[in-house]
Structure 1
Amino acid sequence: MPQAVTITGTRSTAHRAIVEYRAIFEEYVGPFALPGVRFHLGGASGIDSLALLWLADETEAELMVAVPAKVADQPADARDAIAAVRKSGRLAGLIELGGPLERAGYFARNRWMVDRSGFVIGFPRRGTNTSGTWYTLDYAANHDKPRLVLPV
């Protein structure tokens, strides 16, 4: 069982109902969300926020959020998810990397998370093969990290 897991995924999640994502997380993330396991999440809209909220509600796993610059620079829904998890006492840590709010900053954040994980779960948008999610999954593969890929 990995001690740390990175979750990465699409920001485009409106094509499914939240209840569907919660069922996917229950089935595929739940088996890894044991007490003592740390999850690294990117603190963005979409899968990052949905998974963060689900993990906080449904598991006892340790939750770490990393953002490329500052939380204040994240979209409102992502800031709200982080604030809710922080208020509930479930947020174990928040890393503000202070980088640029552009592709290079997001890629640096994703590398930071993968470098601290033993396993990566990716939720790319179905039908895409170039995105930050795929970049992160490829980075993990190039570092011999096991991956679970679940197109949504």
Structure 2
Amino acid sequence: MTTYDTEWIMTRAVVITGTRSTGHRDLDSYAELFTNYLAPFAVPETRFYIGGAKGIDSLSLLWLAGNSDAQITIVVPGTVRQQPAEARQAITRSRDRITEVVELGAEEELRSPAFHARNRWMVDRSDMVIGFPLGGPQGTSGTWQTLNYGAEQEKARLIVPV
């Protein structure tokens, strides 16, 4: 690794986005994916922005909290209290490793525009987007919208189908 490579990795802000549907794989499979695709960026100087939802958000949060010294910022469209139980539990379990929780204050009944705004907020503050969409053709999911917004903003993207 060159000095340039080291500086690039050490100054990154990375968004993690992914499917909420994760039951088709076992936890060991996700741990292996995160080891292969998150670990290279998971140094103390990297800040990960994670959406605080169930699925990939919760799984990646738990993996990063237990396997890295990277900075972790959780971003929710409304409040943490509004998140699904699985997501709240992951946040609670990782609380000592979370650097910051950002609550964007969306209305009580969260709808797609609030999630899209949260995703754009994270991408706007990042250098890179790592996406874990469901396998198959590109779709219109929030994961793909986030990845495509990252591309529009000329952010590096790493796409790992699950």
- Does the pair score TM above 0.5? yes
- How many angstroms does 1:99 deviate by? 1.3
Q: Secondary structure at the match of 1:5?
A: strand
Q: Which residue of 2 aligns with 1:4?
A: 13
Residue identity in the other structure for 2:66: D
Q: Which residue of 2 aligns with 1:119?
A: 128
Residue identity in the other structure for 2:115: Y
- Please give the TM-score of this superposition, normalised by the length of structure 2: 0.91
- Using the alignment, how far apart are the partners of 2:119 and 2:29 within structure 1? 25
Identity score, percent: 53
Q: Which residue of 2 aligns with 1:138?
A: 148
Q: Which residue of 2 aligns with 1:48?
A: 57
Q: Which runs of structure 2 are paired with 1:1-150 in the superposition (5 Å)?
A: 1=9, 2-86=11-95, 89-100=96-107, 101-128=110-137, 129-150=139-160
Q: Which residue of 1 aligns with 2:4?
A: none
Q: Which runs of 5+ in 2 are unaligned?
A: 1-8
- Using the alignment, how far apart are the partners of 2:67 and 2:16 within structure 1? 16
Question: Which segments of structure 1 move beyond 6 Å, counting only runs of 4 or more?
Answer: none
- How many angstroms does 1:150 deviate by? 0.5
Q: Secondary structure at the match of 2:94?
A: helix
Residue identity in the other structure for 1:140: G
Residue identity in the other structure for 1:147: R
- Using the alignment, how far apart are the partners of 1:39 and 1:124 within structure 2? 18
- What does the per-residue CA deviation read over 1:64-100, in whole Å, with 9 as the maximum and x for residues that have no partner? 00000111110000000001111xx101000010114
- What does the per-residue CA deviation read over 1:35-77, in whole Å, with 9 as the maximum and x for residues that have no partner? 1110000000000000000000000000000000111110000
Residue identity in the other structure for 2:111: E
- How many angstroms does 1:120 deviate by? 0.5
RMSD: 0.8
- Please give the TM-score of this superposition, normalised by the length of structure 1: 0.96
- How many angstroms does 1:130 deviate by? 1.5
- Using the alignment, how far apart are the partners of 1:3 and 1:111 within structure 2? 17
Q: Secondary structure at the match of 2:16?
A: strand
Q: Which runs of 5+ in 1 are unaligned?
A: none
Which is higher, the Rg of structure 1 or of structure 2? 2
